Structure 1
Amino acid sequence: MDRGDHLGAGRYRVLEELGRGGMGVVWLAEDLTIGRRVAIKELLLPHNIAPQERQVFEERVMREARTAGRLNDPAIVTVHDVVREHGSTFLVMELIDAKNLSDVVAQHGPIPVDQVLSIAEQLLSALEAAHRANIVHRDVKPSNVMLDANGRVKLTDFGIAQSIEDPKLTSSGTLIGSPTYISPERLLGQEASPASDLWALGATLFFAVEGYGAYERPSTPAAIQAIMNERVQLRRAHGPLANLIMGLLDPDPRTRLNGGQVRYLIDQARQHATAGVQQGPVPTTKPMPKNKRGAVIAVVAVVLIVALGAVLVFSGVFESKQKQEAAGPQTSGQQPSENPTSESSTSAKSTPPPATAGGNRAATTKTYGEDGEITNLQVVMSGEPGTCFIGLDLNEPKFDCTVEHDTEIFGQFQLNRDSGDYPGEQSMVKEAEAECKSQFDGLAGKDKLKLWTLIPTKTAWEDLRRRKALCVVSKEDRTRMTGSVKGN
């Protein structure tokens, strides 16, 4: 189709091309009958596609029109008409004068928190409208989220949406959707569901707030492996916003956040933002999910599963020394700023802050866990000594300590080995500080290092993998280290 062509018995005049995607071209056109501009999506298929496959794709486009026509929500793009001419199928849609979320982030970087919350709320509304109609979108992703200048959000492309009532249109074993936004259960072969749409919503919000895709990898197999085995690491999101994203990205659809829980956390995050306070931890409506590796091997036969080793992911552990000196010691639950400095400047100028003293706890000992002083902590398995990190917040683990790094877990040990019962904070503090100090005293160059001791909260203790104390060091002068402090 070219500029100046007419469709729909002359009703629609094509003006110009707006964009292209994997399945079609979007044109700007004018509805000559009503006198309004519209967007027309033309199904675009390879010339060598088999006739039976072409029929399947054409039916998918028709279903997109039927699907969108059944939905009524301000955040869903309206389909006005369907035209079949010149051997192709065209959808006549509401014209949205907006850029998609992917392009916005590419041009301007991460989205501000208040706008992320608005996006989350509007997308949730669109998905709930679809789910009430027994429709699953199946392809929620940044490029399908349109943002206009007034903050309105539109969810586009229900072309691969599958009504629970409709028969499948895809071949057996075929996954439809963008690989980095496909939920773990769908990779395991389960049907798409409202819960899988919510997982994709979480991945989309991660992209919006962090500025990159949580599971972007150099290849599709690597992306699948990351979705099935890795836990995302949040840098900019804290408190209820972090709990929202992590709860949506729960690998188990049975314990993943539902719509009501998502709305609760959106409200909590908005209250914190409106009050002008840093986002601290709030109680979630369920425990944060644990990584589920048991079912992975059967699915990812296409992926070379790499033994990743044990990882500890910390968010919001450290803060700039300059801010500390100006504001004084942090109180429990406070998090770093939503707008951190660049990694290089943070590494050069930051140092861990003292913990708020609790009981007989020294200022260099902090509790970790969802209800601890260090929140947004996910223990995948166990943090092995000699694990080095770039950034004082331990967001990017580096297993090879020959790479320049800012912090290192140089020691860990099991607490209360005798019975396994929760020993109480005072007992753990005494044991952890003594053991970490003993290990610290054996380090070469200890006079230039800063020691931090981490212990679990009672809630974190319920996870068997968290019943340990961790010994962490950074440079006293806030410069980077090369090589393990243990001399390995």
Structure 2
Amino acid sequence: MTEVGALLAGRYRLERRLGSGGMGVVWLASDELLQRPVAVKQLSAAEGASPEVAEEARQRAMREGRIAARLHHPNAVAVHDVTEHDGFPVLIMEYLPSRSLADVLAEKGRMTPGAVASMGAQAAAALDAAHAAGITHRDIKPGNLLLGDDGTTKITDFGISHAADDIAVTRTGVIAGTPAYLSPEVARGHAPTPASDVYSLGATLYAAVEGIPPFGDEATNSIALLHEVAAGQFRPPQMAGVLAPVLARMLQVDPAQRPTPAQASEALQAVVSGAPSPLPEPDHTQPISAVAAAAPGGGTRLDNVPVRSPRRSRRWIYLAAGAAAVVLVLLAVLLPSGGQEQPKEQAAAPAELERVVSDYYALLPEHPGNAWTRLGTGLQAQGRAGYEGFWSSVADVRVVEPPQASGPGVVRVTVELVMPDGTRITELHQLGLRGAQQPKIESDAILNSSTSAPPPPPPPPARVEPPREKEEGKKDENKGNEDRKGEEDKKGEDN
């Protein structure tokens, strides 16, 4: 058994254990040849594993080393070397002082949309480079995103990834990946693709901002969870704010409707900067509510998982199509012909934008219905019921730092939410507004957030009993006063 202080391959000295997983243990080690810290991933077969399984583990580790050696990107953990110890491969990887996203979420519960967007933009950029090298990760999840102390995000663990031109060692009939973060097509038996990685990253970012994956976790029943994932219908995000439209595109059921990693990275970076989303409008001529049947031959045994039909009826679709046709006819009649470019809408003055934001928060939390009318279509698309439900759970809203225009159509404001139990949540919001006459709030990104717990109630005052000696002295004093008063009254009668 490997212990602290062991020397691997004559140069890697193990210093301390960083973590462990289903495939082995990760150590912090010192490369005594190059005098640098490294992470050592030591793989081993499960106890009692058959020779076939043990050989599969060896092949998988060697494959990981070959694949990762192709990938050089600042947001992907680099593999420096592959060696062997006790008959099993050992991967020598870049060491990043960091915590996994899974650990961060276990401690904090969730993250702000701005922080999640920054993290996601970096991870998507790494996926773009991996896909260009012919690599599909296949297991993007919170445990495989490392958050560095300097704000860097890196993807790790290509241990079950698949290169297009490399040998496949995952045995037929086994799903490789974590159920809560699988794409619907993979959950139904299809081979993973780059689009599957985009979906898994979207599910990971959803979990980071909402505190739970789109379909829940596998703590109760993994098979039931796979059925939910295969159906592809999940609860719309409630806490994502301006990040919600990007997540919706990444979590499309139809892989063709999802953005590429490069597009996702650019869109997530736009959320961070407050810029308009660069994502093209989805192609609504393609179905997005179902996936193709499972691939024939092999794969998982979920080929016949039923996909729940969409909740909206065909009648609703026909009415919507008819309404769209009417709108197109009206536009053709009302818009000027000749292809002349129309003048751009003038932006409202900074003072007007600040006034709109100030008026918006003045309505909350007592009048969420009126505040709702100040929102643009992008935010209203997330649902009025959820919006009013959230504000009904807030006791008070206080503007800590008044609205300040920070760019064209952009206002920043710091507010404090007071919850019924006394908890105070301070948030820095970056709001995007559009419109010259009556600007609407089109986007809302939380750039920073902090929570202070309510102070404990003061203990009841202790009851202090007066000392008996003082009490008796007081009685004697009162008696003396009564005696003197009686003598004075007697003298008055004699006179």
Q: What is the TM-score when the length of structure 1 is the normalising length?
A: 0.61
1:291 paired to 2:292: no
Deviation at 1:135, TM superposition (A): 0.9
Match of 2:376 in 1: 332
**C-alpha distance after superposition, 1:36-77 (max 9, x if no partner):** 221111102113211122111111111111111111100111
1:226 paired to 2:228: yes
1:240-389 pair list within 5 angstroms? 241-272=243-274, 284-287=280-283, 290-292=288-290, 295=293, 301=302, 310=311, 321-322=365-366, 324=368, 329-333=373-377, 335=379, 346-347=391-392
- Aligned CA distance change for structure 1 residues 97 and 172 (closer, same or farther; 3 Å): same
- Aligned CA distance change for structure 1 residues 84 and 282 (closer, same or farther; 3 Å): closer
- Aligned CA distance change for structure 1 residues 34 and 323 (closer, same or farther; 3 Å): farther
Deviation at 1:131, TM superposition (A): 0.8
Query: Sequence identity of aligned pairs in percent?
Result: 32
Say if 1:140 and 1:181, in contact at 8 Å, map to a contact too: yes
Say if 1:146 and 1:155, in contact at 8 Å, map to a contact too: yes
Say if 2:231 and 2:308, in contact at 8 Å, map to a contact too: no
Q: Helix, strand or coil for the counterpart of 1:322?
A: coil
- Aligned CA distance change for structure 1 residues 297 and 186 (closer, same or farther; 3 Å): closer
**C-alpha distance after superposition, 1:217-254 (max 9, x if no partner):** 42111111111124222111234x22211111111112
> How far, CA to CA, are the matches of 2:370 and 2:200 in structure 1?
40
> How far, CA to CA, are the matches of 1:160 and 1:283 in structure 2?
30
1:238 paired to 2:241: yes
Match of 2:99 in 1: 99
- Aligned CA distance change for structure 1 residues 306 and 153 (closer, same or farther; 3 Å): closer
Deviation at 1:185, TM superposition (A): 1.6
Deviation at 1:304, TM superposition (A): 7.9
- Which amino acid in the other structure matches residue 9 of structure 2? G
> How far, CA to CA, are the matches of 2:392 and 2:221 in structure 1?
30
Structure 1: gaps (5+ residues)? 313-318, 351-488
> How far, CA to CA, are the matches of 1:132 and 1:325 in structure 2?
48
Deviation at 1:119, TM superposition (A): 1.2
Larger deviation, residues 230-239 vs 66-75: 230-239
Match of 1:164 in 2: 164
- Aligned CA distance change for structure 1 residues 334 and 258 (closer, same or farther; 3 Å): closer
- Which amino acid in the other structure matches residue 248 of structure 1? M
Deviation at 1:88, TM superposition (A): 2.1
Q: Helix, strand or coil for the counterpart of 1:254?
A: helix
- Aligned CA distance change for structure 1 residues 293 and 320 (closer, same or farther; 3 Å): farther
- Aligned CA distance change for structure 1 residues 80 and 228 (closer, same or farther; 3 Å): same
- Aligned CA distance change for structure 1 residues 125 and 38 (closer, same or farther; 3 Å): same
Structure 2: gaps (5+ residues)? 314-362, 396-495
> How far, CA to CA, are the matches of 1:297 and 1:33 in structure 2?
49
Deviation at 1:101, TM superposition (A): 0.6
> How far, CA to CA, are the matches of 2:137 and 2:195 in structure 1?
11
> How far, CA to CA, are the matches of 2:305 and 2:66 in structure 1?
40
- Which amino acid in the other structure matches residue 212 of structure 2? Y
Say if 2:141 and 2:200, in contact at 8 Å, map to a contact too: yes
Say if 2:124 and 2:261, in contact at 8 Å, map to a contact too: yes
> How far, CA to CA, are the matches of 1:79 and 1:55 in structure 2?
21
Match of 1:126 in 2: 126
> How far, CA to CA, are the matches of 1:331 and 1:347 in structure 2?
17
> How far, CA to CA, are the matches of 1:200 and 1:307 in structure 2?
21
> How far, CA to CA, are the matches of 1:327 and 1:305 in structure 2?
41
- Which amino acid in the other structure matches residue 333 of structure 1? T
1:4 paired to 2:48: no
1:200 paired to 2:244: no
- Aligned CA distance change for structure 1 residues 303 and 143 (closer, same or farther; 3 Å): farther
Deviation at 1:270, TM superposition (A): 3.0
- Aligned CA distance change for structure 1 residues 122 and 323 (closer, same or farther; 3 Å): farther
- Aligned CA distance change for structure 1 residues 140 and 328 (closer, same or farther; 3 Å): closer
> How far, CA to CA, are the matches of 1:308 and 1:184 in structure 2?
14
> How far, CA to CA, are the matches of 2:205 and 2:279 in structure 1?
20
* Bigger Rg over Cα: 2
- Aligned CA distance change for structure 1 residues 133 and 29 (closer, same or farther; 3 Å): same
Deviation at 1:271, TM superposition (A): 4.0
Q: Helix, strand or coil for the counterpart of 2:40?
A: strand
Say if 1:224 and 1:300, in contact at 8 Å, map to a contact too: no
- Which amino acid in the other structure matches residue 281 of structure 2? T
- Aligned CA distance change for structure 1 residues 343 and 47 (closer, same or farther; 3 Å): farther
Deviation at 1:22, TM superposition (A): 1.0
Q: Helix, strand or coil for the counterpart of 2:366?
A: helix
- Which amino acid in the other structure matches residue 201 of structure 1? L
Deviation at 1:347, TM superposition (A): 4.3
- Which amino acid in the other structure matches residue 169 of structure 1? V
- Which amino acid in the other structure matches residue 19 of structure 1? G
> How far, CA to CA, are the matches of 1:106 and 1:252 in structure 2?
31
- Aligned CA distance change for structure 1 residues 301 and 161 (closer, same or farther; 3 Å): closer
Q: Give the aligned CA root-mean-square deviation in angstroms.
A: 3.4
Deviation at 1:309, TM superposition (A): 9.1
> How far, CA to CA, are the matches of 1:133 and 1:203 in structure 2?
23
1:38-53 pair list within 5 angstroms? 38-53=38-53
- Aligned CA distance change for structure 1 residues 323 and 83 (closer, same or farther; 3 Å): farther
Number of aligned positions between the proteins = 334
Q: What is the TM-score when the length of structure 2 is the normalising length?
A: 0.60
> How far, CA to CA, are the matches of 2:387 and 2:257 in structure 1?
35
> How far, CA to CA, are the matches of 1:68 and 1:297 in structure 2?
28
Say if 1:82 and 1:91, in contact at 8 Å, map to a contact too: yes
Q: Helix, strand or coil for the counterpart of 2:120?
A: helix
